[in-house]
Amino acid sequence: MALSLLLLFLFSLLLLFLPRRIWRYYNLCKAMRQLPTMAPPHWFWGHANIIELNQSFADKVYAWRLKNNININVFWLGPFRAMVSLHLPEYFKAVMKNPKAPEAYSLLEDWLGRGLLIENGSRWFSNRRLLTPAFHFDVLKPYVHVYNDCTDILLGKWEKSALNGETVEVYNTINQLTLDVILRCACSHFSSCQEKGRNDPYVKAVLDLCDLSAERFMNPLLTVNNFVYFYLTSRGWRHRKALKETHKHSEKIIKERKAVLMNEGRQERIAKSKLKCLDFLDILLLANKERKDGDGLSDLEIRYEVDTFVFEGYDTTANALTWTLYYLAKYPEIQEKCREEVRDVLRGRNQLDYDDLSKLQYTQCCIKEAMRLNPPVFNIFRSLTEDTVIGGHYIPKEAMIIIDITGIHRNPNIWKNPMEYDPLRFHPEHSKERDPFSFVPFSAGPRNCIGQNFAFNEEQVVIASILNKFSLEISDERIKERLDILPVVLLRPAEELHLKLTLL
């Protein structure tokens, strides 16, 4: 009897909700048919069977958009997931206040938990407020010494190669440098990742996680069931192993820092905070202790934030630096102009101070122009809280929104000769009239990048120090002509970039 009642209840629920779901799905399909699409979607795969994570697919999409002046279009991933891609600043503004799309970020959740990047709503708001002081100007200032110290290790390694007449491989060595920086600044952890290279198990695990998460995102079959993916596929086993490695690493760091804080006397702690030389983890741990609302972060939540900072803070910056070095090596006149500026500011010194950074105007233009053409975070995702009209197009709330940062940065309706590397577009004179939402490598609005000043300062120190010491040349003519992109979570170079360095 009880079972029959339960079945009846479930059946009534189904009858109540199913028609509405079917109606909404019909509504979604109808609206999506009004939007431009590259190819008719397959009934099951949608466009998942034609999307490729490579340069030639990106070229095809770009050529199609250019030919048809497309500023908005739809992709289907599987039969139910419609993704509307936006490539105009005003379209971005129209959706920026909407929450992150959980489906897009949930695949990073096993790794990053519900840290700042993924969390939505009041919990995000409260944590963002808690973490904002960690990126205050006074906290960032002393980090210039960390950038310098870590860059010195890189310069030493590159000097050896230059003296031996060997080329240097850029992306991986820079990646180790930015990881070294973020670990020191986020949690005063002095890893030896620059010396151990790719053999460092943590570095390997993080890189694996990036690749595996992206593959999973693009393949609807891998997202059907977590148990099947994690326990019954070889990819899932690798994924679990990498997760275990990264979490073990972060937990160890947190434990060590907690022990240090416990041992420090109260006076010492206050003195330290007055000097404003706290690392991000210190700020988290101290703020946590001082919170009176009983709503502090648990150890697990602190791990979420540490993993988020490391994920957000190192590979992004490494990609931005790699692409900047690529363009500087490709265009020797621009490289030389940049070097002249750096040397003018350094005046015979080897290292930059914080106050020097504001004087590196042309260098800043070069970095920005590299991030315009190849924004490390090339797509961000939102879900609509209600059906919305974007640029005259009706978009039901079931569609996932992609803000296509590369699409905005290369949109010919905004940028003249968008595919040309021209740093002077960022000269203050030339950018006065430009809509700030035309250049959004760090996103914009309330969910913008909390670490953007940290990253931009670091990029300037690294680029200036390299240019001060070496002249750069791309060793392979084919790569010099064209270095393809590999859009896997971040916009990476598809092939190794080797530079020939001459000591100056």
Binding site residues, ligand HEM, CB under 6 A: 100, 116-117, 128, 308-309, 312-313, 316-317, 320, 376-377, 380, 441-443, 447, 449-451, 454-455
d(CA 170, CA 191): 20
Tell me: is residue 449 an annotated ligand-binding position: yes
Q: How far apart are CA 318 and CA 313, in angstroms?
A: 9
Q: Could you tell me if 234 and 216 are in contact, meaning their C-beta atoms sit under 8 angstroms apart?
A: no
Whole-Å CA distances, 416 to 90, 326, 370, 413, 420: 18, 22, 16, 8, 9
CA 41 to chain centre: 29
Question: With respect to ligand HEM, which residue has the nearer C-beta, 295 or 340?
Answer: 295
Q: How far apart are CA 337 and CA 356, in angstroms?
A: 17
Q: How far apart are CA 320 and CA 171, in angstroms?
A: 10
Instruction: For ligand HEM, give the closer residue by CB, 28 or 367.
Output: 367
Cα–Cα distance for residue pair 287/337, rounded to 1 Å: 45
Closest separation in Å from C-beta 119 to ligand HEM: 8
Nearer to ligand HEM, 236 or 493 (CB): 493
* Between 121 and 348, CB nearer to ligand HEM: 121
Among 319, 321, 289, smallest CA distance to 302 is for: 289
Q: Quick one: which of 183, 190, 174 has its CA closest to 250?
A: 183
| Side chain identity at residue 493, one-letter code | P
What is the rounded distance in angstroms from the CA atom of residue 96 to the CA atom of residue 436? 13
When CB distances to ligand HEM are compared, the closest residue is 451
Give least dist CB 126 to ligand HEM, A.
11
Least spacing, CB of residue 118 vs ligand HEM, in Å: 8
Residue 324 beta carbon to ligand HEM: minimum distance, rounded to whole angstroms:
10
Instruction: Please report, as a single letter, which amino acid is at residue 446.
Output: P
> How far apart are CB 180 and ligand HEM at their closest, in Å?
13
Tokens of 25: 């799905």
- Residue 90 exposure: Cα atoms within 13 Å on the Cβ side: 7
Nearest approach in angstroms of CB 49 to ligand HEM is: 26
Which amino acid, 118?
I
Q: Closest separation between CB of residue 443 and ligand HEM, Å? A: 4
The β-bridge partners of 402 are: 85, 381
With a CB cutoff of 8 Å and minimum separation 6, the contacts of 343 are 468
Residue number with CB closer to ligand HEM (95 or 320): 320
Output the smallest distance, CB 95 to ligand HEM, in A. 11
Of 116 and 162, which has the nearer Cβ to ligand HEM?
116
Whether the Cβ atoms of residue 466 and residue 155 lie closer than 8 Å to each other: yes
Residue 378 DSSP code: -
Which residue, 79 or 99, is less far from ligand HEM as judged by CB? Answer: 99
Would you list which residues are annotated within the binding site? 449
Residues of the binding site for heme: 449
